[in-house]
Amino acid sequence: MALAAGMGVGRFVYTPILPAMIEGLGLTKAEAGLIASANFFGYLVGALLAAAPSLPGTRRAWLLGSLALGAATTGGMGLASSLPAFLALRYAGGAASAFVLVFASALVFDRLAEVNRGGLSGLHFAGVGVGIALSAALVSVLLTYGTNWRVLWFAAGAASLATVPAVAWLVPERASPPVIAPLPRAGGVEVRSPGHSLAALAWAYSLFGFGYVVTATFLVAIVRANPEMRPVEPWVWVVVGLTAAPSVALWVWLGAWLGIARTFAVACLIEAVGVATSVLWSTSGGALLAAVLLGGTVMGITALGLAGGRRLAAGDPRRALGLLTAASGSDRSSARRSPASCTTERATSSCPPSWLLPRWPPPPPPSPGCVCRQPPILHYRKVSKHAPIAAATRTEVWDPDASSSARWI
């Protein structure tokens, strides 16, 4: 329930609401991406703070406070009208989501470890898929009645706020976390150095975050921008949630059978196919397949990564979970400004498919106004047919759909 509100709604409801915001406010794709990046950066900062060992207060108090803050910032988006306000609210909401993920997972993992029921962790992470599906359905229903984007944010915030008392009742207060030694094996492989293994896991987890974030943020916008795919717009994000919820149990089971590392790799390969499908197969079927593959892997990979971090942690797992979450969040911020984000400017395959091979480390941000980095080709336009060449004006507008000799117009 906590992850349904804090992650499923707090972090991912922006995706189905974004097209309505773009139409209602006239947001540019760059502004929409900047708002998304603010949320990712807040997620990174929140994860690092949640990992601090000297953080005062109880884990339960931080969980409940973060849920309340996330609900407030989600509903507050409906009151904002300026870009700075959107950035501040999404930044705070991202930090709150990270706190919810870290503290809720730490509490759940510890209590499952006490009763030797670690396999039930899939139910915990399935909450994200449930939150995505319910919030997407709520947004779709409200849009059928002509509701504007502000009411969509109010409804999402109210739904999140309703979970706070329920979580407070379900998670009783405890004096201190139990001290539990790390397991001798992680994913069927002997752990020779917990520090080294955690660093390797964090590296893989960060690449996972870098790989899927653009599709997860703009999938609905891509579908709306293509007339052929628009009929499935109300359902595409619901499909992501409906496939995410049950898939976690499958991936956790496979992780116990094949080992966490092997299962993590297989899930990432399948997710990569879904990301590629979202731009290479511009049909309704392609959009739905991308939604199935994205939803069917993203929370499974999250569950595998954090479960692996818990195995390598002794005592309170907050530090390991926080560092893994921060690793994922850092690459999401980078990916949002990478050449891959050119898909947000053109909802079809106008950008070369080379963006599907993300570079590491992430490249520097592209210059404003460009869809993809390309060497400038200057074209001069005379003010009038009688004006001298010296009076010509120069424009540098990138047109990726033009021929290679006339892309700058």
* Distance (Å, whole) CA 409 – CA 64: 54
Domain boundaries along the sequence of the chain: 2-356, 374-409
Percent of the chain clearing pLDDT 70 (strictly above): 72
* pLDDT tens column, 172-201: 776 555 544 444 443 443 334 444 577 777
Residue 292's pLDDT is: 93
CATH of domain 2-356: 1.20.1250.20
At 13-23, the pLDDT tens digits run 998 999 999 98
DSSP state of 341: G
Which tokens is 284 given? 């309704």
**Torsion-angle region of 188 (φ positive above 0: left; ψ -120 to 50: alpha; else: beta):** left
Residue 376: asked if its preceding bond is cis (omega within 30°), the reply is no
Is the pLDDT confidence value at 94 over 90?
yes
Q: What is the mean pLDDT of residues 289-317?
A: 81
Contact 25, 149 (CB under 8 A): yes
pLDDT at 266 over 80: yes
Q: What local confidence, expressed as pLDDT, does residue 356 receive?
A: 47
- Cβ contacts of 388 within 8 Å, gap of 6 or more: none
Helix (H, G, I), strand (E, B) or coil at 20: helix
The whole-number pLDDT of residue 355 equals 39
pLDDT for 234 beyond 50: yes
pLDDT 10s digits, 99-157: 998 899 888 877 887 777 766 777 888 888 899 999 999 999 999 898 999 999 999 99
Per-residue model confidence (pLDDT) at position 365: 39
pLDDT greater than 60 at residue 339: no
- Whether residue 1 is predicted with pLDDT greater than 60 in this model: the reply is yes
Q: What is the mean pLDDT of the chain?
A: 75
pLDDT band at 79 (very low <50, low <70, confident <90, very high): very high
Give the predicted TM-score (pTM) of the model. 0.71
Q: What mean pLDDT do residues 327-344 have?
A: 48
Strand partners, 37: none
DSSP-assigned states of every residue in 236-287:
HHHHHHHHHHHHHHHHHHHHHHH-HHHHHHHHHHHHHHHHHHHHH--SHHHH
